[in-house]
Amino acid sequence: MLSSTNGIELFINGGPFATLFGVSPETPVSTLEWAPDWYIDAFTPTWRKARNGGTDVVTGVTCYGTLFVFRTRQTVQEWDTQAGDWCSEEGPVEEWLERLIVEGEEFMKA
């Protein structure tokens, strides 16, 4: 699924629960369709500059402002933009995806 798309809105119930960023297209998309900064290659350099470099890659955001940050190719950690601090432990991608799916299902039930 991820290799066949370029940006995904997940768990839409009056609005998306999570947005997974894509890569900036050669032909820009209308800002009414997709935010111009919500691409991996646009958001990540801003993140790295604010966090003093590093190799982190920001891949998405929740509706409540939590960023999905790939710390390595095999680990993810979540950053709370409201608190300005990490809100999860760094862990395997598989565990993060499972947690995202569970939270998304709860969002849809609410």
- What confidence category does residue 3 fall into, taking pLDDT thresholds of 50, 70 and 90? low
- What confidence category does residue 4 fall into, taking pLDDT thresholds of 50, 70 and 90? low
Burial 70-103 (b: 16+ CB within 10 A, else e): beeeeebbbbeeeeeeeebeeeeeeebeeebeee
Where exactly are the structural domains of the chain? 2-25+35-109
Residue 9, burial from CB neighbour count under 10 angstroms (0-12, 13-18, 19+)? middle
pLDDT tens profile 27-86 = 888 888 888 888 999 999 999 999 878 999 999 999 999 999 999 889 999 999 999 999
